[in-house]
Chain A
Amino acid sequence: MTTLTADTAPVVKPRKEKPRLGDRLLFFYTWAIIIWLCLPIGVMILFGFNNAPGTGRINYTWKGFTLRWYQHLFDDPALGDSIKASLIIAVVATIIATVLGTLIGLALGKYRFRGQGTVNLVQFAAISSPEIVMGTSLVALFVQLGTGFGYATIIIAHVMFSLSFVAVTVRSRVLTLDPALDEAARDLGAGPFSTFRLVTLPMIMPGVIAGALLAFALSIDDFIITNFTAGKISTFPLWIWATQKNGVPPTVNVMGTIIFAVGLVFAGISALTARRRDV
């Protein structure tokens, strides 16, 4: 209660005071929201260990601990196939989107040119457009062209929606560079390509890697646009969507848990490398 009386005293240096009651409440509030955010993750992990009977379609109540679903993860080959499809699409789309997005990011960060506003506008639209509109628009295109749907159409879509994110990430990195470095390299006799390879690229690399990780994450988790452009291909999110109507087996939780763990490892690695670069 002493903290309350501090409120009436004139505020001099807020830094030196004991934590206020309000701050302490906000601290608990923040943790309450974090727990709320993590609740479904806990449920997912826990019920991957649930000893649900039979094929596990009725996985609603806790029936005891088992590692059965980890051992029989790929008993349904469709799950493995969907993971394979997701990985192939994410890798290819990430490579293309990273290259194209990095080039755009460089142009936007390094140069002032006519049409810059248009490029910004199109990117802004591509980032903020509702996914369902982009998905239906691509259906309109592919139906008109008569191409059918498959890996190619999914990858085209994924590159389309992730390349702007790469470009924006790279651009903000390029903006932090000193243009004098480029000039110094030229003055020392480096051509434009060796300047890029030896000076610019290493310096923007953290931005490029961050952009690539973002593109990969967006691609592997995309549901709505993929749902429209996939045809008969089933990625992991599409496969979950299809099975969800008849009850989700614990193997889905197991796969989700594995992806969660892998994601955490990647995040840890990228955080560590970023820290080392900054030092």
Chain B
Amino acid sequence: MRGLKGRLAPYILILPGGLWLAIFFVVPTILLLSFSLMQGNEVDGYQLTWHWQNYTDSINQYHDQFVRSLYYGGAATVIGIVLSYPMAYWIAFKGGRHKNTYLFLVLLPFFVSFVLRTIAWQFLLGDNGIVVSTLKDLHLMSSDGHLLQTSLAVILGLTYNYLPFMVLPIYVALERVDHRVVEASYDLYASRIATFRKVIFPLSLPGVFAGVLMNFVPAASDYVNATILGGPSNTMIGNIIQTQFLQFRDYPTGAAMSAMLMAILLIGIFAYARALGTEDVLEAAAR
């Protein structure tokens, strides 16, 4: 009696939330895929005609935006690693009793709305803003130069907005490095550089991978930064999907692009998850 109850208990606990995820996450994803092969419009309804042309059309028309999304997302992620790693290293090994204070400061931007943070950068990078005027005063920029509406501004915005998601997982991985292992390396006459290269860095890689995941996926599919900080020549695939869905209401074409974006990103994610074990990544992502 108790055995049966005990065996059923986890399923009963999971049922309500599981149903929610099934109905509002799994089913919609399948519907998105089927939508991407439909034809029709809002008035006449949509029929599943296996219209693969939705895919070829959107690749032909918007391959620039696809490439740009991967480029901007990739650039923001790489810059993010370079900026975050030394900082996460210092907090983890030298932060002492102020570790939590530093982490709190890293998270501070999240207390301001994402859109508002991006608008603040628009303001800072504007032609009358302090960044451009300082660069011009120092003659590091020609007098007719701009920052806003350039790809540089979009990449900067993406890097900025997701940087805490890079610092945190790298910090968590470095924090977990057993100090005895590091001391053992010194005892075996490894130099500081060799210890970092052969002991600390490999042990921190799961954190870097988690950070890459948490930066690249949202950055490549973002359209807020491209809209606010970029110009007409910096649009990303997110901008196109958003326009198709919310302005033109051309759901099948939008769905095809969204499905392609998902395919590209999910293949990457699952390759990662496979290489590292899903639970590890989940845990790193949750911290």
Contact = CB atoms under 8 A, between A and B. Distances in A.
B286 A168 contact: yes
B29 A133 contact: yes
A111 B12 CA distance: 12
B217 interface: yes
Size bracket of the A interface: 35 or more
Q: Size range of the interface on B?
A: 35 or more
Given A41-B108, A136-B258, A228-B245, A164 B121 contact: no
Contacts of A122: 18, 21-22, 25-26
B271 to A, nearest CB: 13
Query: Which residue among A139, A223, A240, A252 has the maximum number of chain B CB atoms within 10 Å of its CB?
Result: A139
B119 to A, nearest CB: 6
Contact of B28 (A33, A36, A103, A137): A137
B14 A107 contact: yes
A60 interface: yes
B218 A131 contact: yes
A99 B20 CA distance: 12
B208 interface: no
A244 B25 contact: no
A157 B20 CA distance: 10
Interface in B1-41: 7, 9-11, 13-14, 16-18, 20-22, 24-29, 31-32, 34-35
A99 B16 CA distance: 9
Contact of A263 (B26, B89, B111): B111
Q: Which of A121, A137, A169 has the largest number of chain B CB atoms within 10 A?
A: A137
A172 B72 CA distance: 34
Contacts of B11: 107, 113, 115
A237 B114 contact: yes
Contact of A131 (B113, B192, B221, B254): B221
A214 to B, nearest CB: 9
B150 to A, nearest CB: 18
Given A30-B102, A141-B27, A130 B262 contact: yes
A256 B113 contact: yes
B198 to A, nearest CB: 15
B21 A37 contact: no
A5 interface: no
Nearest to A146: B45
A113 B10 contact: yes
A100 B213 CA distance: 26
A101 B113 contact: no
Nearest to B272: A128
Given A37-B109, A40-B120, A136-B258, A130 B25 contact: no
Contact of A27 (B7, B94, B261): B94
26 contacts: A26-B87, A26-B94, A29-B86, A30-B87, A37-B163, A41-B108, A60-B123, A60-B126, A108-B10, A111-B9, A113-B10, A116-B10, A122-B18, A122-B21, A127-B282, A130-B262, A131-B221, A137-B28, A138-B28, A140-B251, A168-B285, A240-B113, A240-B116, A244-B115, A248-B119, A259-B112
Interface of A: 7, 10-11, 14, 23, 26-27, 29-30, 33-34, 36-41, 43-44, 47, 60-61, 99-101, 103-104, 106-108, 110-111, 113, 115-117, 119-134, 136-141, 143-144, 156-157, 159-160, 163-165, 167-169, 172, 217, 221, 223-224, 227-228, 236-237, 240-241, 244, 248, 252-253, 256, 259-260, 263-264, 267
Interface of B: 7, 9-11, 13-14, 16-18, 20-22, 24-29, 31-32, 34-35, 83, 86-87, 89-91, 94, 102, 104-106, 108-117, 119-121, 123-124, 126, 128-129, 160, 163-164, 186, 189, 191-192, 213-214, 217-218, 220-224, 228, 238, 241-242, 245-246, 251, 254-255, 258, 261-262, 265-266, 269, 273, 278-279, 281-283, 285-286
